[in-house]
């Protein structure tokens, strides 16, 4: 599912299919992670419909601030309502781990995703210019944050 996300939405992620497509299965197994960091699945009738990664830094001074990344719902499961509880589960896990501040970035052209994050309480705090270079075109990213305390 991770590779499908990268392949089908090159504009939506800072990681490239070309980089991760050559990785062995073990690479993706490691991404599932060990709490508090890890990948959360959104399931419909036991079928994996979406994924979200939570990255909590190990460093003592940075552990209060985590990042959500790689948020993806397979096209056939969009508008099904799986996206919200999946991301909310990652937010709850962050809160349980003592995280007080969550961050994510979203391509400024990705109105749908940005709207979704806004509806979860995220607010934009700036624009990261030229965050990615994809097929010769620079993409800006909106930086969004959610305070949990
Ligand atoms: C972003 C993504 C995960 C959202 O999942 P989804 O199943 O499409 O989302 P939902 O249909 O449950 O909608 C969730 C919210 O998004 C917003 N939204 C959905 N479709 C929208 C649209 N066409 N325009 C504007 N906002 C929209 C709404 O706020 C909606 O809340 P609501 O259901 O209360 O109206 C999914 O579209 C996706 O995987 N997109 C491709 C990859 C991607 O862009 N990932 C984000 C990288 S930062």
Q: How confident is the model over 88-120, as pLDDT tens digits?
A: 999 999 999 999 999 999 999 999 999 999 999
Task: Report the distance separating Cα 5 and Cα 46, nearest Å.
Answer: 20
Q: Is the CB of 78 under 6 A from ligand 1?
A: yes
Mutate which of 9, 13, 73 for ligand 1? The one with the most ligand atoms within 8 Å of its CB, which is: 73
Q: Is the CB of 146 under 6 A from ligand 1?
A: no
Please state, in angstroms and as integers, the Cα–Cα distance from residue 20 to each residue in 1, 10, 106, 107, 141, following that order: 12, 12, 20, 20, 21
- Ligand 1 centre and the CA of 18: distance in Å? 25
Domain 2-147 = CATH 3.40.50.300? no
Q: What predicted TM-score, i.e. pTM, was given to this entire model? A: 0.93
In this prediction, residue 45 has a pLDDT band, given cuts at 50, 70 and 90, of: very high
Instruction: Please give the pLDDT value at position 107.
Output: 98
- Alpha-helical segments (H) within the chain: 2-8, 17-20, 25-32, 83-96, 111-119
* Two structure tokens written together for 33: 């992670």
Q: Is the CB of 141 under 6 A from ligand 1?
A: no
C-beta neighbour count of 84 within 10 angstroms: 12
Strand partners, 112: none
């Amino acid at each position: 599912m991770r590779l499908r996300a990268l392949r089908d939405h090159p504009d939506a992620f800072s990681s490239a299919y070309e980089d991760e497509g050559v990785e062995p299965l073990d690479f993706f197994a490691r991404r599932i992670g060990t709490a508090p960091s890890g990948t959360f699945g959104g399931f419909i009738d036991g079928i994996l419909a979406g994924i979200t990664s939570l990255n909590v830094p190990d460093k003592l001074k940075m552990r209060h601030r985590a990042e959500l990344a790689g948020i993806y719902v397979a096209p056939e499961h969009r508008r099904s309502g799986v996206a919200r509880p999946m991301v909310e589960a990652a937010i709850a896990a962050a809160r349980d781990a003592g995280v007080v501040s969550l961050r994510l970035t979203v391509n400024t052209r990705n109105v749908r995703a940005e709207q979704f994050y806004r509806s979860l309480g995220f607010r934009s705090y700036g624009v990261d210019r030229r965050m990615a270079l994809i097929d010769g075109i620079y993409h800006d990213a909106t930086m969004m944050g959610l305070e949990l305390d």
